[in-house]
Each structure stands twice: as C-alpha cells, then as structure tokens.
C-alpha cells in the first residue's frame, strides 16, 4: 500500500463549528487525491472531539487530556503521518477546491522549495498580512513596533515586516509564511523534527521557516490559490495571556536565531523594545479594563470638589487643601461600595439603578462620621451637596452610555452582551432564536451549554461551565428550566457565583419560588434575573464573621449552664449529620430528658466554620443534595418541623440563598424558637 500524497494535520481547541466547516472544505478539495487527515484536540470543552469522531470516522483523531500547545500537538500527528507532503492547517480556515492540487503541482515542480503558503484572506475579504513576511530583525521589527509600517506600507524600508510593498497577487520566495497553512515537504519536515516545542503558541511558524532555510531550502508564497482564515478563533479561548505569549515568542525566536549576529548593545535595545511594546499594549488593555471605575472616581471627586466650591466660593483653594484628606476618605468609601455592590461587573457596567443604590451604603457610613465624629462634623453641607451631585452624575452617564450602545447593537454585534444559554431544549432554542432575531435587545447569543453535546450550537458541557465563562468571555447566562431541574440549576448558579456575570432563569415550572427578583421581558419571553447574594465574597465574609463572634461569645457565656444541664439530664453526644465529621448535639438517654442546651456542641462546629447559624438542613432529605452549609436552623425548620421532600428542599433553599439578608436570618431564628416552643 503506497503512502498518501498529503498528510493534513489540524490542531483544534474549542472551535467546533469552525473545525467542522474546515473539514468539509478539505473533503471537497481532496477529491481524487490520496489524503490522510489528523485532528489533534487539545482538551476542548465544546465537544470538538466528540463531533469529529461522530461525523468524520475516517479521520485519525488524537485527543489530549490537557492543552499541549500548537507545536507539540502538531508533532504528535507528524510522528504518525506517512504523506509525501505534510500540510499544517488551522481549524479556523476554509480552503478552495483547487488548493491542494495547486500546491501538489507546485511542490513537485519546485524541488528547492521546502515550505509554501497561499494567499490568505480575513473573514471580511481583506488580505491577512501575516501570509508573507520577513524575520523580525531589529531593522525590520523596529518600524513595525513603532507603527511606521502602517503609516508607510509601500516603503521598502518600513514595510519589510509584512512585505506590504510587494504585489500580493504574485508568487515569490519570502522569509516566512503564516502558520495557519504550511504545505511542507514531508521528508524535510520529518528530518527537522517538526515544530520547536519551546514555543507554546506563536513563533513556531517563524522558527520552522528559519530552520528550513538553514537546510538550503526555500520558503515560498504562492498566490495562485486563496484560503480564508478566521484569525484568532483558537486564541480567544486559550487559557493564557495571548499578548504575553506573542512577545515571549518573538523574544525566543530572536535569541535563538539572530542574537549571535548582533552586538550586545543592539540585542539589548531590541529586547528592551519588545518589553516596551508589550508594556504599552498591556497598559492599553489595563486602561480599557479600569476605564469605568476611573470615570466614576473622577465624577465622585468632581462632585466633592463642586460641593466644596459651592460652600466656599471665595476661599476654595485653602479650604480644598484643608478638606482634602476628608474628601479622599469620602471618595474611597463611595468607590468601595460601588465595587462591592457589583457596579463594575462586566454585565452591570451600565446599570444606572444599581449604581444609584450602591451609593447609599457609602452615604450611610460617611454620614455616620460626618454627623457623629467631631473631626468630620464641619463638613455636613459639603457631604449632602456632594452626595446629591453623585446621585445625579453617576447614573446619568450610565443612562447616556446605555442608550448610545443600544443604538449600535444591531450594526456592531461585538459590543453586545455575550450570552450563554444553558439547556438546548425547546425553551433554550426559543430564547436563542429570539436573541438572534432581536439584536436591539443587546444580547449576542454565543451558544448552548448542555449535558448532551449533539446540538451543533452547543459549545460546551454543563460540567465545564466555569471554563466556558472564562474562555468565551460570557456576560450573561440564561437557564432554561425545561431541561434541568431546579436542584441542578441551583448547583450551577452556586458554581458561577464568583464570576462577574448576570444570571437569568426562564420561569417555566410553577413550583419555583423566586421571591424578590427582577423580571425582564426579552421580546415575548419572560426571564427572571437571579443572584445568590449569600455566595458573594463580601457577604460570605460578613456572615462568617457574625457566626464566629456569636459562637465565641455563646461558648464562653453558656458553658457553665450547658454542662450543668447535660450532667443533670445524663445526655450523651450523638452525630446529627453524616456529612459533618464533628457535628454533634446532646441527646437524652432512654427515658431521660433532653437538656435545655442540647444544641451547645453545635457552637464548636459554628466556630470552626463547619456550620452557620441559618443555613441548609442538618440532615437533608433522601434524594436531595446539599446546596449550602448546614445551619443550626434553616428556613425549612422555621416553616414546618417535618422533613421536607427533595422538591420542597430545593425550593426553600433556593429562596433563602437568593433572598438572604441578616434581617431574614433574625426572622428565621425567631420563627424557629416560636415553632419549637409551640411543638
């Protein structure tokens, strides 16, 4: 049996739909040719591997249990390949029907060529500049780093990096081609050992081209056929900083191949240039990330300054210096409560109601110091005026920005809120269709998450929700209740609590208890916004602090009475729950009496953080799961003494977690005591 003409190697990472289209284009282009196809999946969570094995059984599939990087994954397949030629192809590409034949003929007729690449277009039809380029030597990379190549693309001096002064419709030898399509002579590429695995992502293609040239072979740009490359689709979901990886790759490449050709000073300046360019890009990204808090900080400071100017119009300068420490403390308190209240969560950037509400805790705390602490007492008028201005400015800019953004949602979908629908059932399909038909709503449907990965728009499993949120940059998650039970939804919402996202549920089932929740209409679909306040870091800390203090004080104060009661009743400690190692109560002996302080041992579990005062049941019903820390009491115990069914347990704990407040906790404790007394 003869070896195939071409071994095509594709490395995939969370690009299921692109990969599917890519393989279809290969199948069309390989008709009449002897081709073997490898797909190496770097532990995708979107069902890419399952799709390949299900829909393309003839493909040689290699599944990795972690992301090995681009070069190492390609080398896995290269070692098993048998083709005369090897094509390294990105999964987010589409090739023409004549592409493979043109490259076969070209390589057969040009034995000096070791690697060749085609003309590559972006999704919008523009030329992808990386399809032919020069090595990043200092004299070539510097104009690129300084932006001169963009200003003078036709200059042979400034346009060398991407060869923008050359005709893209002609073929010629170049330093390097794009790693998205590298048609290689099989014997040469195997002799070189494939890609250098020191490069995790970026730079491997440059390095391979350089090593091919060192073997006295040519690297060629072939303009006779065109492919489309949806650039950056894999890197969007890569679990590393792609910006840092790019500059690190550039540094590795230069040190490996060219540092010996230049003086120490030249090499030093080049590497400093790389660091400087990376720093500028990083600062740009950082500014983009903090621009909204920065604007709020400016407006808070401006409000305080305006209030001071109104109060002291003639002596503003001296008074400003005098009040500066006080104003700074005011501003810091307001800013902290805005942040803790979620105003800077990605999904809540333009929520003007939340911004206004989040100012009030700062108003109360600052007001306490202003009206009751002598040092701050002189600034009462400034305090009131500045708060009024903040209450105007901060929501106002959000209203303006929100309306401005909504006008551009239909034309600029990238600014819309990236939305994941959990559950690809009838309700999920309905809401996905609604979001697609109504871009003016401001939601961009990214895909489904489901237990079943068969739907083509399913981008991941519900078992990988956290990873999906991070890699797909999700802003909103909508749960469809026709696929998942309330218990499953509670568990998933609890898992997503640390993420700065907005969570909504389609309230299909009548037995859901939502309590105080925001109802929103998406066209003709009602969804309820959910947020488990109790799982937010600030409230977890606050609740744990209250538990600790009450436990510590109660242990010390009640110890004499508790142990006396235990001794008189002859009680013994017993476990109250199998899932808590040291959770115990004092239980009466046979024919004995239950001690007054039977719950005293629970205080030690409370002190250690194994329990909370108000939480879940200590012994959950059979067939249910634990959704929150066990409590000395719970909302279920405050309503009825009998053990609830699993469905009732889910509804009650869902209500408690989404409506938590210390007032509610006090109410539950009081009801529990009354219920116990009446029993």
Provide the CATH number for the domain around residue 444.
3.40.50.720
Last residue of a domain, one of 239, 271, 299: 239
Would 255 be classed as within a structural domain? Answer: no
Would 491 be classed as within a structural domain? Answer: yes
Would 146 be classed as within a structural domain? Answer: no
Picking from 406, 474, 466, the residue whose alpha carbon sits closest to that of residue 446 is: 474
Token representation of residue 333? 């308190």
621 and 488 in a common domain = no
Expressed as residue numbers, the domain containing 497 is: 414-531
- Check whether 511 has a pLDDT greater than 50: no
- Check whether 3 has a pLDDT greater than 80: yes
Mean pLDDT for 336-341 is 78
Per the model's pLDDT, the better-predicted residue between 500 and 55 turns out to be 55
| Choice among 228-237, 460-469, 605-614, 642-651 with the minimum mean pLDDT | 228-237
Last residue of a domain, one of 504, 531, 558: 531
Picking from 411, 393, 303, the residue whose alpha carbon sits closest to that of residue 356 is: 393
User: Taking all residues of the chain, what is their mean pLDDT, rounded to a whole number?
Assistant: 77
424 and 295 in a common domain = no
The pLDDT assigned to 521 comes to 53
- Check whether 471 has a pLDDT greater than 90: no
Would 352 be classed as within a structural domain? Answer: yes
The pLDDT assigned to 512 comes to 42
Provide the CATH number for the domain around residue 64.
3.90.550.10
User: Residue 324 contacts by C-beta under 8 Å, 6 or more apart in sequence?
Assistant: none
pLDDT tens readout for residues 91-135: 988 898 899 999 999 999 999 999 999 999 887 677 888 888 887
181 and 38 in a common domain = yes
φ/ψ of residue 63, rounded to 5: -105, 125
308 and 227 in a common domain = no
Would 258 be classed as within a structural domain? Answer: no
Most confident range (mean pLDDT) of 206-215, 396-405, 471-480 is 206-215
φ/ψ of residue 381, rounded to 5: -65, -45
Among the residues of 409-473, which ranges form H helices?
426-437, 465-471
573 and 516 in a common domain = no
Would 252 be classed as within a structural domain? Answer: no
Mean pLDDT for 495-519 is 60
- Check whether 172 has a pLDDT greater than 90: yes
469 and 541 in a common domain = no
Are the CB atoms for 458 and 452 separated by under 8 Å? yes
Token representation of residue 184? 């290689």
217 and 78 in a common domain = yes
- Check whether 173 has a pLDDT greater than 50: yes
The pLDDT assigned to 585 comes to 64
The pLDDT assigned to 237 comes to 45
Last residue of a domain, one of 408, 430, 446: 408
448 and 495 in a common domain = yes
Share of the chain above pLDDT 70, in %: 74
CA separation for the pair 35, 25 (Å, rounded): 13
CA separation for the pair 87, 115 (Å, rounded): 9
Are the CB atoms for 206 and 246 separated by under 8 Å? no
443 and 577 in a common domain = no
Beta strands in 385-524 (DSSP E): 417-422, 443-450, 458-461, 476-480, 502-506, 518-522
189 and 73 in a common domain = yes
Would 271 be classed as within a structural domain? Answer: no
Would 365 be classed as within a structural domain? Answer: yes
497 and 454 in a common domain = yes
- Check whether 336 has a pLDDT greater than 90: no
311 and 232 in a common domain = no
Output the CA torsion 150→155→161→164 (10° steps): 80
- Check whether 669 has a pLDDT greater than 70: yes
pTM for the complete prediction? 0.56
Number of structural domains the chain divides into: 4
């Amino acid at each position: 049996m003869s070896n195939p003409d071409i071994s095509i190697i594709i490395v995939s990472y969370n690009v299921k739909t692109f990969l599917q289209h890519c393989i279809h284009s290969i199948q069309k282009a390989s008709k009449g040719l002897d081709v073997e196809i490898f797909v190496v999946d770097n532990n995708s969570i979107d069902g890419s591997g399952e799709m390949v094995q299900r829909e393309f059984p003839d493909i040689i599939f290699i599944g990795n249990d972690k992301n090995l990087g681009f070069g190492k994954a390609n080398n896995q397949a290269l070692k098993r390949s048998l083709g005369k030629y090897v094509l390294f192809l990105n999964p987010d590409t589409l090739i023409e029907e004549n592409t493979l034949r043109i490259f076969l003929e070209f390589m057969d007729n040009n034995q000096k060529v070791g690697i060749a690449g085609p003309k590559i277009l972006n999704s919008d039809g523009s030329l992808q500049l990386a399809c032919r380029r020069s090595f990043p030597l200092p004299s070539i990379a510097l104009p690129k780093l300084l932006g001169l190549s963009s200003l003078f693309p036709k200059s042979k001096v400034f346009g060398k990096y991407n060869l923008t002064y050359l005709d893209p419709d002609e073929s010629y030898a170049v330093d390097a081609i794009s790693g998205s399509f590298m048609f290689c002579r099989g014997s040469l590429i195997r002799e070189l050992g494939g890609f250098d695995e020191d490069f995790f992502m970026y730079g491997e293609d440059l390095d391979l081209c350089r090593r091919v040239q060192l073997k006295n072979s040519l690297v060629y740009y072939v303009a006779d056929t065109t492919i489309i490359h949806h650039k950056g689709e894999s890197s969007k979901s890569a679990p590393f900083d792609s910006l840092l990886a790019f500059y690190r790759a550039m540094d590795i490449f230069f040190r490996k191949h060219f540092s010996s050709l230049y003086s120490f000073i030249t090499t030093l300046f080049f590497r400093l240039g790389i660091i400087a360019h990376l720093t500028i890009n990083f600062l740009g990204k950082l500014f983009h990330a903090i621009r909204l808090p920065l604007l709020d900080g400016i407006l808070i400071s401006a409000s305080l300054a305006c209030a001071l100017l109104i109060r002291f119009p003639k002596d503003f300068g001296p008074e400003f210096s005098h009040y500066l420490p006080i104003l700074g403390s005011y501003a810091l308190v307001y800013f902290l409560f805005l942040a803790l209240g979620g105003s800077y969560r990605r999904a809540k950037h333009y929520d003007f109601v939340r911004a206004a509400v989040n100012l009030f805790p700062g108003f109360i705390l600052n007001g306490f110091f202003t009206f009751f602490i002598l040092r701050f007492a002189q600034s009462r008028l400034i305090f009131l005026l500045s708060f009024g201005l903040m209450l105007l400015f901060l929501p106002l800019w959000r209203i303006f920005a929100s309306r401005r953004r909504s006008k551009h949602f239909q034309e600029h979908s990238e600014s819309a809120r990236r939305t994941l629908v959990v559950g690809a059932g009838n309700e999920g399909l309905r809401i996905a269709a609604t979001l697609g038909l109504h871009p003016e709503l401001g939601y961009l449907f990214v895909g489904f998450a489901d237990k079943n990965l068969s739907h083509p728009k399913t981008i991941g499993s519900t078992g990988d929700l956290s990873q999906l949120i991070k890699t797909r940059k999700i802003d909103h998650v909508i749960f469809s209740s026709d696929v998942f039970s309330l218990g499953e939804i509670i568990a998933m919402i609890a898992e997503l609590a640390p993420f700065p996202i907005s969570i909504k549920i389609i309230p299909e089932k009548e037995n859901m208890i939502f309590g105080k929740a925001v109802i929103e209409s998406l066209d003709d679909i009602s969804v309820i916004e959910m947020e488990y306040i109790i799982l937010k870091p600030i409230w977890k800390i606050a609740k744990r602090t209250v538990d600790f203090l009450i436990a510590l004080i109660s242990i010390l104060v009640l110890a004499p009475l508790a142990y006396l009661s235990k001794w008189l009743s002859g009680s013994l400690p017993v476990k109250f729950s199998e899932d808590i190692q040291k959770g115990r109560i004092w239980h009466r002996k046979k024919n004995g009496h239950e001690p007054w302080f039977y719950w005293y041992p629970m205080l030690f579990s409370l002190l250690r953080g194994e329990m909370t005062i108000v939480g879940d049941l200590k012994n959950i019903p059979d067939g249910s799961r634990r959704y929150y820390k066990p409590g000395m009491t719970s909302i279920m115990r405050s309503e009825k003494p009998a053990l609830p069914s699993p469905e009732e347990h889910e509804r009650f704990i869902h209500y408690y977690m989404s409506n938590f407040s210390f007032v509610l906790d006090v109410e539950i404790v009081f009801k529990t005591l009354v219920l116990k007394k009446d029993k």
